[in-house]
Amino acid sequence: MQALEALAERDASICMVATDSRGSAAASGFAQKFPDRFIEAGIAEQNAVGIASGLASTGRTVFVVSPASFLSARSYEQLKVDVAYNRSNVKAVGVSAGVSYGPLGGTHTALGDIAALRALPNIEVFAPSDAAQARAIAQYLARSAGPAYVRIGRGDVEAVYGEGEAFDMRGAKLVRDGSDLTIVACGEMVWHAKQAAALLAGEGVSARVLDMFRIKPADSAAVARAARETGRIVTVEEHSVHGGLGELVCAIAARSCPVPVRVLGFPDEECKVGKSGELFRHYGLDAQGIAGAALECLGGRAGCAG
């Protein structure tokens, strides 16, 4: 959000709408610096999206910031009609996505937002992996004129990229090259995928890591190339295995170069309660779990497509 504040200093059209989050890290700095361009909607996500769309109709670039679990569910109709259908210049930012609110249980998890927002027309979907990438996405969105959804976590994350790293918003980011298989990840999972690739290197396995930070529209060419060149794919996401990155990659591979794909994510069950790191370990989404799944996939055992 510091990047957004810097952009707002140069662009008076940038506004923010938030939901009961004036005191949060996501909105507090913006509210203090630009009180005339900040609207606190309270615990009313539907109203917040409607307000944002109204502001956008007057020529403003509006970022609406709210917990992903509520923004993507409670205000889905408003995102569908007020934003996507009308092609409003609204950037919906779902904070504390995935299991960032893990200790609060299932009511606060956001494990279906990628699936839901991917299904809406006219809207871009992003899942940045670290702060450097999030800044680049914010800069891109401040210049773009259409709807977007961005899901980010709650707190600090490990850096995947160095300062000044360049990002092409049209394509996936190659984190690490490899020839034996490809790990496609998004969001916080990219760092874990990078660590898994290092573990696999110790086992003599050359793993490519692709950061699919722009989920919609997706970089189909990068996935097709990975399928052709490495022969096997493992996908990793802090999201349900239904409707997210994994199924997206499977669809691309099926059309372009059918190969075995192993989809790692949260299964079709009520998510356990715990801190995100604990949940990642439990569901095999940490470096060890990803590396183990990759070795199974390479071994050709049953379940590579599961």
**Residue tagged 């160095």 (tokens):** 162
Annotated active-site residue 165? The verdict is no
The proportion of the chain whose per-residue pLDDT surpasses 70, expressed as a percent, equals 95
Cβ pair 51, 41 in contact under 8 A: yes
**CATH 3.40.50.970 in the chain, residue ranges:** 2-151
Catalytic residue among 5, 9, 40, 45: 45
The proportion of the chain whose per-residue pLDDT surpasses 90, expressed as a percent, equals 86
Q: Can you give the pLDDT at residue 188?
A: 96
Q: Can you give the pLDDT at residue 276?
A: 93
**CATH 3.40.50.920 in the chain, residue ranges:** 173-298
Q: Can you give the pLDDT at residue 26?
A: 59
Q: Is domain 2-151 in CATH 3.40.50.970, yes or no?
A: yes
Classify domain 173-298 at the CATH class level.
alpha beta
DSSP calls for 70-107: HHTTTTHHHIIIIIIITT-SEEEEEES-BTTTGGG-GG
pLDDT band at 63 (very low <50, low <70, confident <90, very high): very high
